[in-house]
Amino acid sequence: MFNPQEKLGKSVARLSTAIALGKPDRTPVMICAEAFCGKAMGVPLVDFIADPNRGSEIMAECFASLGEVDAAESLVPTAQILGAAWLSKNKLPGRELGADEPWQVEEVSLMTPEDYDLIIEKGMGPFMGDYLGRRLPQTGADAQIYLATDFHRAAMNFVNRGILPLCPIPSFIPYETFCSGRGLANFSKDMFRTPDKVQAAMEVAHAENLQSLKAQIAAVKPFAVYFAVARGASEFLSPKAWQRFVWPYIRQTVETIVEAGSKVFLHFDSCWDRDLAFFRELPKGQCIFASDHSTDMYKLKEALGDHMCLFGDVPASMLALGTPDQVHAYSTKLIQDMGNGFILGAGCQVPPNAKVENVKAMVAAATGK
């Protein structure tokens, strides 16, 4: 008889060992997937996101159908919150998009240079409330739907199936928020034209982020915290700008999470090859570096394999267009080459158009079933 608590205990031990760079009984496998779950379970995306509580149940049911999955990265469809996180517009299925089209974020660049002064003077929280209320009211209303989710219930959807909710709390750095709010081109100019003002606003926003993060960790006591950076990757900035506007905020965020008692899931999209050596400054055996297939897994292994756990990196294109044999062979080679301190999963996220049999093949490569 299936015992979810027994399975969960084995998965937690397996993941803990991998993060600590030890040798687990087998390579853990974690799934990050949202729209894929709706597609795989035959639920139109307009219905999948309509109630995040129901969406979470569909996700957990989908994950359980894929094989012996150890952990879940996302627990709830994030369609309604993404625009608010990036100070941008949501485009949702059944509203701006077709009923079964994956949701999108439309960057509208409504943040102005004067807003840095508002943030410095009034704080990031008051600024966000006013920004969403006046400039993006639909995005603000969408966010309230997401925030009304019963997140404990969402976590239990997975726990009751023996799957660890790995990182129920998200965290970001000011660079990501400002870059999307201003738009990449505008923000790049701001960093050259008014660098001191940009940094002063970042410091205010960052202090609020860390205070909120510590309170959430104390309340939820998560296994790990989801920490996402994409545009802050090495490939988008000069070394000088990266070391001023990105790296200190990454390091301080990680240190805050670890000091609060949680592991850190570095969901770091884009290419970080240039600056991998900096990550050795982070606490050893406390982080998972998740590559989206842009950062070279073998460079990651060489630079950080003895310092932090690695995650990835089955490419979206292979999950969507490849065959089960191709996926299984790629996954098996990764497991062999990465060795200890490795968690298998899709690069970034299982794409909406992935073939179910391909995702099952990825899981089977780790579990042997």
Q: What is the CATH number of the domain that holds 327?
A: 3.20.20.210
The whole-number pLDDT of residue 121 equals 97
Reported as a pLDDT band with limits 50, 70 and 90, residue 311 is very high
pLDDT band of residue 284 (cuts 50, 70, 90) is very high
- Judged against a pLDDT cut of 90, whether residue 357 lies above it is answered with yes
Tell me the C-alpha distance between 182 and 198, whole Å. 11
216 pLDDT above the threshold of 90: yes
Q: Is the pLDDT of residue 354 over 80?
A: yes
pLDDT exceeds 80 at position 113: yes
The SS3 of residue 156 is helix
Confidence of residue 368 (pLDDT cuts 50, 70, 90): confident
CA distance 268 to 193: 27
Whether the predicted pLDDT of 262 surpasses 90: yes
Mean of the per-residue pLDDT values of the chain: 97
What pLDDT does residue 181 have?
97
If you average pLDDT over residues 320-342, what whole number do you get? 97
Cβ atoms of residues 273 and 309 within 8 Å = no
Residue 96 has pLDDT above 80, yes or no: yes
Q: What is the pLDDT of residue 324?
A: 98
Contact 175, 233 (CB under 8 A): no
DSSP, collapsed to helix, strand or coil, labels residue 283 as coil
**Total of domains in the chain:** 1
- The pLDDT, as a whole number, for residue 361 is 98
CA distance 81 to 62: 22
Q: Is the pTM of this model over 0.85?
A: yes
Cβ-defined contacts of 88-96 (< 8 Å, 24+): 88/136, 88/139, 88/180, 88/181, 89/136, 89/138, 89/139, 90/138, 90/139, 90/142, 92/46, 92/49, 92/142, 93/44, 93/45, 93/46, 93/49, 94/45, 94/46, 94/50
pLDDT band at 297 (very low <50, low <70, confident <90, very high): very high
**Residue 367 banded pLDDT, cuts 50, 70, 90:** very high
Task: Please check the confidence at residue 302 and state whether its pLDDT lies above 80.
Answer: yes
Distance between CA atoms of residues 72 and 60, nearest Å: 8
Domain that holds residue 176: 4-367
Q: Is the pLDDT of residue 123 over 80?
A: yes
In terms of Cα–Cα distance, which of 173, 288, 151 is closest to 228? Answer: 173
Q: Which pLDDT value is given to residue 369? A: 73
Bond before 313 cis per omega within 30 degrees = yes
Asked if residue 206 has pLDDT above 80, the reply is yes
